[in-house]
Structure 1
Amino acid sequence: MSARAVSELHILPPKCTVNAKYYVDEILAGPCQDSFARKRYTGTILQRRLCQNMSNSVFQQDGAPAHTSKLSQQWCQLNLPNYWAKEVWPGNSPDLSPIENLWA
């Protein structure tokens, strides 16, 4: 999500476990990459580009094992501009993660 738009919500199938492969193949390389590729400045929040300039944005994750795996770290490094490796991520704080407010 950004101030301009959101990505599509990914709903897991029943009894699905999110491992690194599932995360990369079904989430990052699917709906997330589609969201990053949007070019429109108008339309619904699911049609507009997430940021005016993706090279000025930061893709933030938490410390979930699928997010910190070598596979997902490599995918993000290759496919996302300005990606911060897990060693650079800020500490666990709901104040730093706007998604925490959305869940509430």
Structure 2
Amino acid sequence: MMAAIPLRLDATRTFHEAIGAEVGAGSQVASKGFVTFGSTFGGTTWSRVTALSNTGAVLATWTDVRTNNNTSADRELPAGTRSVTVEGQSDNDGTRPWASVWCIR
């Protein structure tokens, strides 16, 4: 299973988005999951990528991850994750940052 995280960049090329992602710890959906993020046509600084529990508790945070043109990074989501937030800024107007969550049953 894979779900894209729609990123809407504002006038300063920054974004802050979230998506549901149910992984491990009693999940009927997936035993393991990952968040993958990157960019094309330029670089992106991912200021914060966060895995949250069903109560909003922070389970993991990855800060200041840099993806350059045509590169990506991925992080395994901890058990109990129920949503993922991504925040960052792209280098220029042509840069296309992207992010997705994928899970293994």
TM range (shorter): under 0.3
Which of structures 1 and 2 has the larger relative contact order (alpha carbons within 8 angstroms, sep 6+)? Answer: 2
Hey, which of these two has a bigger chunk of helix by percent? 1
TM-score after normalising by structure 2? 0.27
TM-score using structure 1 length: 0.27
